[in-house]
Structure formats: C-alpha cells, structure tokens
Structure 1
Amino acid sequence: MTRSRPAMMLLACATASAAALMVSSATAFAADQAGPRPPKIKVLNSSVGAPFQFAYGKKQTLVSDGATSTVYKLSKKKLNPLFTTPDGLSAVGINSRGDIAYGIQQGDAESGGATTRAELVIKSRKTTTTADLLAYDEKNNPDQVNQYGIDNPTPCQEAALKDFGGANYPGGVDSHPYAVAPLDKTSWVVADAGSNNLLKVDAKGNISTLAVLPRQPAPITAVAAEHMGMPDCVVGAVYNFEPVPTDVAVTKDGLLVTLLPGGSHDPVAGARGSLVHVDWKGKVTTVAGGLQGAVNLTVDPKGNIYVAELGAGRISKVTDGKVSKYVDLPNALSLQFAHGNLYAGTMGSEDGPGTIVSIR
C-alpha cells in the first residue's frame, strides 16, 4: 500500500483562501486586456464538472471529465459523450491512428488517500491494453533520488514541520497519471503527478522512465509562516517541493511540461508554478516561472504557449519565455488549440458547474 505525500500537506491550512480566490466572480476581462480586440469567450457547454484534459486528433477532439469519469467528443459547438471509465479519470490522449489512452487514479480514504490504483488504459480498434503505473512505481520509485523538504533542517524546523509530514523526506511510492500525450504512432508519454516523473508507455503496456523531474525550491516567507502559525526559525528556509507535473505536450525537440509544486497554492505561498522543457536526454530547462497553479498547456501554430493558471483564474501566454495575461478565466483548468480556436475547460464550483468555452 502506498502512503500519502507529505509535501501535499505542507501549507495545507492555507487552502481555504485559495479556494475563495478560484471561485471568485469573474470581472470583465476586456478592461484589463491590452489591444483593441480582446479575446471573446463563448460558452459551449455547462454540464461538466472537472474537465481535466483535452486531446486533439486528426478527426476528433476529446475532453476528459473527472467528475463523471466520462470521455467526451468535442465538436465546434457541442459536447457528446463517447465512453465512461472507472472512477478517477483525469488524463486522455489520442494518437494519429485514432487510438485513445486515458489515465485513472483511485485512493483509499481510510488510509489518508493513499493511492490504490493507477493505470494507463490504451484503447485501439481491436484491443485494450492496461499499463499498471502504480506497480511500476512500487518496483522502481524513480524519484527516490530526490530529497524533498529542507536540506539539513534545524531542530526547530524539524519540530515546526512535524505535523506536515516532516522537514524532509525522500521521494516515495505514488502514482497519478494526470496527463497523457502521444509520443508517436504506438507509444505515449504520461505526466505522472504522483511519482513526479515523465513515463513512456508502449502499445504493449511496457513502462519506462523518460525523466525524473527536479525538486522545486522556494523560500518560506514571513507571511506564509505567520499564516500557518509557524515559528520564526522557518522564515527564509528553502523548502524543496515536489515538482508535480500536470500536463505534457510533445514538440520537435522534446517535451513541454507544466509543474504545480506540492503544497498550498494560496497567494501567501507564492506563485511557484512553472513551465519547463525536457529534451530527449531528460535535461530539464525552465521556460517560465511565477505561475499561480499551472495545470495545463497548449501550443498554437505560431509557437505561442498558453498556460491555464487555476490559482490565478486566468490563461497566460508565454512567448520567448515572457509571461503575459491572455484572458481572465476563473477556475481555468484545461486548454487545447484546435479548429482555429483556443478551447478551455473550467472547474465546477459552489457557484455553478464547470464549462467548456471557446476563445477567439
């Protein structure tokens, strides 16, 4: 049985205000958008709950709704159910042959949410193949090379972080296939948010590690320490968070990945999300940082990168490493450029259901 990740507990008491931020009422984005023609948002569907990922193929665009464990087919104007999956759906991908891959993750509430099942399922016209990602991590645990938390903590820091999983710990066993994309005609890349790795899965379900993502250092600020009721000894200490990859896109020279480092995404914790590039040898280079809850990305035909910032309630545009706000979109969760449009999914909340929108 796996254990819950301590880093996901750090600063957890600050999440209430983060939730308030994410469900805040939308303001007119046109007033903040530079230029005479701000993007226009059109709601296509308002019956989804958690549209975690889009997948764009030659003949169809798919959407995965984790709230109902349903994969939908998206046309220019509507959403049609394609098939349902076991509980815990997050990732979905489609390759040039029309094969569909989806990821599921299930946990045991009685044991603190420890992962009990994590799989990538590949559906072709004739066969269905299942790759057991949790079993792979139990056997290999690639991110055990990372030591998360504070390096060489003082006794005071150890005591302060005891209730948050400890001042430091090695990468443990876990798996959450949060995003998937086709590498080629027969294999897939999985952004595993639980194991902090990029994994390759072939058509037969064989799994290998493409890259172990690096820990994400950030200092604990005085504001964050006070917010959490922690002593002054933690202020200024560098905490090395788990990287937590949330999306992956395949490019000619490697992979683009959004990182949502473990811990709270309350503004007091700082904007710690980032966009990184991983080359085919596994080298990781930061493309852009300072993102507030980076959960998804897409690339347009001109090479512009768009990132969904769930914590900030917006879509940002990254060009030559520079980040600018593209449009405000509360609860922004997923993105896909297709059919000449930018599509986005928003998370449902107490204020209403999630949505699928087009942005032009």
Structure 2
Amino acid sequence: MHVRNRVALVAATALSCAGLLSTTPATAVSPKAAETPAKVKVVAKNLTDPRQLSESGDSFYVAESGLNQVAQVTKAGGARKTVVKGVANAQGAVRAGGKIYATSGSSNPGEPQVGGSRRLYVAKAGQKPATFADLLAYELKHNPDNQTQGTGPTDDTLSNPYAVVKSRAKNGFLLIADAGANDILAVSKKGKVSTYWVPQAITTGECATQEQNSDAGPSCDPVPTGLAYGPGGLLYISGLSSEAPGEGRVYVLDKNTKLVKTLTGFTSPTGVAVGSDGSVYVSEALQGAPEGPPAPDFNPDSVGQVVKVAPDGKRTYAQVSQPTGLLWSDGKLYASARSLYKAFFGADGAGQIVSVDPSSFVAQ
C-alpha cells in the first residue's frame, strides 16, 4: 500500500513532508510570532498537542497526545486539570458512566511502538488507567479491511485508534474510529469489540494510481479519524484518505449503518462536528502548510482551517491554527487548536481549545 495510507496521523508525517519539522527545534520558527484570529476565542490554553474533544456536564475532555494524558477543562473559565495519565499517544477521550475512556494511538511513522498502545483505556479521574479493549488484538484476529498485515517493530498499519464517541445504537456503548485498521469499531460495556462499519478504499483523483496491498487495486486507504452525531441520529465520519489532496471524505451513516451520503473534496480531515441546523464542520489541520522548507518569517499559526458545509452545500472557511478535534456544543463550535506544536517546536503547553465565531467563516 502507498506509504501515506497508514499514517500515525498527520502530526509527524505530514509536517515532515512539508518541511515544517526540524531536528533542532531551537532553530524553528518562533511560536511568539503566532496570533489567534480575533474571531477565534481562546477558551483554554496550556495544553500539549490536544486532539479529540468531548464534553460531559460543564466540562470538556481533551486527549493531550504530547503528554500521554487526558485533561478536563471547565467550559466556564477554562480551568484545566489532568484527570488521566499514562495513555500512550492519547488521541481521543470521552466520559461515560462516571469513567473516562481514552484511545491510545500508534507511534509516529518509523518509531518503535510503545508497549500497551493501540488500546482503549478506562479510568476514574485521578486513577491509573486499565486496558478496557485491545484494539490491536482485534485487528490481528479479524482484519476487517482485508489488507495485508504488517508486523514490523515500527509498523503503524495494524491499528491506530483515534476518535471515540458514545454510541447511539441500540444497546451500544462506544464507537471508535481506527485510522490504522480502516474501520469503525463498536465496544460494549463489557469491553467486547466488534466491527461496526468499514469504509471502502478511495479510487478517485490521486488515489487512482496509488499502490495498494489489497484486492482493491490502486487506491488510498480511507483512514477514518473523526466521529460525530448529527440531527436525526446520523453518524458522521471524517476520513483522512491517505492525505491525498482533495480526496478527504465525510461519510454519513444512518442508524442501520447504511451509507446515506458522502461529502468529498477535503484534504487530510482529522475531525468532524455537526451543527444543530445540519451544517457539517471539518478540520483540515495542514491547510496552507508550505511544500518545502518554510521562510524565516513563516507563521505556523497560518496553517490549518475548518471547513463549513451548509445544508445547501455551500462551503465557507475559518482560519484556525492546526485544528484536529471538533465539537458542537450549546450552539457553538469548538476546536482543539495548535494541535501539532510539540512536534514542531519540541515545547509543551502551546495547545488550545478555541471557539469559532460564525462570522469567522468566509468564502474562498
């Protein structure tokens, strides 16, 4: 399969390809040059590579991939505290039944996999996390996408759990987007894993000529990343589509897992949210990244945007610095921002949760 088909998500791979990463972080572009657009309000700061967002009561829960932990952030005031530590490459987090469930993602491409990664963990706030479901083991046994399995010590093609949401299916508990396994998995209250839905390989655009290691022929892996429910109980799934330009997808499933709609034309989407009016929001963390080494005055906060797709199909765009996770809550859109700063600068604490004002979205 093509090298981009099983990324450990955009952080290291895409930034490296764009020339944004440096082996000497001190010589990289200074984060002091960064500014948050006026119509994008900072709700919380001092996060480290924040990824998926969720909510429970008066708090947000956010996976901090750069610190292998989950933080709780109050909606009013943005006060944060660490509630779960020790989740390697934390990518997604959700609170359910008084406990916190967090996905442990794959290591960056070329790096050894961390022991205990590629699992779903559970913990009460302040307690040590325990394995709730071994998603890598499920992939090794069942391989829902029917692709050749790679088993090298640095391999990320098997499983890379990303987003997790509470399921609205009958007798459902949690759903997980596994970007490495190319599937959506259901996890029961007892930790039993089953296959919920498997998107098909992408065969359009640049993907039409990409090498593949399955019987799909030349294609790109769908690489599901984000999960969100919208009006009518429809499930929305963002797909990275191997980072092929313009080939990103948002799949829309009904309660019976029937594919009812596919939105196309995105580039490397890592998150999705749905407004109460049915507008779909898609995060493109690397929009605007230079293809080669950046100029000395390059501002990394100029990289990234959120795409809004209105019910009539009209698209508008808001500039948000490296957004990954998205959440629609109480009539507002929230995003995890500066989600790749530790990978870029080698420093903790630059990440944010921001609210994106409707007036931020403009035509291009």
TM-score by length of 1: 0.71
Aligned residues: 305
**Distance in 1 between residues matched to 2:115 and 2:199, nearest whole Å:** 20
Letter in 1 for 2:187: V
Letter in 2 for 1:258: S
- State yes or no: 1:292 paired with 2:267: yes
Match of 1:156 in 2: none
**Distance in 2 between residues matched to 1:108 and 1:28, nearest whole Å:** 27
Counterpart secondary structure, 2:88? coil
**Distance in 2 between residues matched to 1:124 and 1:28, nearest whole Å:** 34
Counterpart secondary structure, 2:138? helix
Letter in 1 for 2:354: V
Match of 1:242 in 2: 221
Match of 1:183 in 2: 167
**Distance in 2 between residues matched to 1:348 and 1:6, nearest whole Å:** 18
After superposition, what is the alpha-carbon deviation per residue over 1:76-105, rounded to whole angstroms, capped at 9, x for unaligned? Answer: 32141222133211111123x343211113
Note closer, same or farther for the CA distance 1:94–1:214 as it changes in structure 2 (3 Å cut).
Answer: same
- State yes or no: 1:87 paired with 2:88: yes
After superposition, what is the alpha-carbon deviation per residue over 1:13-61, rounded to whole angstroms, capped at 9, x for unaligned? Answer: 986564559x9987997xxxxxxxxx82122333222111111223432
CA contact (8 A) 1:293 1:310 kept: yes
- State yes or no: 1:341 paired with 2:332: yes
Larger mean CA deviation between 118-127 and 46-55 belongs to 118-127
Letter in 2 for 1:287: T
Note closer, same or farther for the CA distance 1:303–1:124 as it changes in structure 2 (3 Å cut).
Answer: farther
Mapping for residues 48-59 of structure 1, pairs under 5 Å: 48-59=47-58
Note closer, same or farther for the CA distance 1:205–1:282 as it changes in structure 2 (3 Å cut).
Answer: same
**Distance in 1 between residues matched to 2:200 and 2:115, nearest whole Å:** 22
- State yes or no: 1:122 paired with 2:122: yes
Match of 1:32 in 2: none
Match of 1:142 in 2: 144
**Distance in 2 between residues matched to 1:281 and 1:116, nearest whole Å:** 33
Match of 2:305 in 1: 314
Note closer, same or farther for the CA distance 1:285–1:83 as it changes in structure 2 (3 Å cut).
Answer: same
Note closer, same or farther for the CA distance 1:48–1:217 as it changes in structure 2 (3 Å cut).
Answer: same
CA contact (8 A) 2:277 2:311 kept: no
Mapping for residues 200-279 of structure 1, pairs under 5 Å: 200-220=186-206, 239-251=218-230, 252-262=232-242, 265=243, 269-279=244-254
Counterpart secondary structure, 1:136? helix
Larger mean CA deviation between 301-310 and 127-136 belongs to 127-136
Higher strand share: 1
Residue identity over aligned pairs, in percent, reads: 25
After superposition, what is the alpha-carbon deviation per residue over 1:199-237, rounded to whole angstroms, capped at 9, x for unaligned? Answer: 11011110110111111123339xx99xxxxxxxxxxxx
Note closer, same or farther for the CA distance 1:64–1:28 as it changes in structure 2 (3 Å cut).
Answer: closer
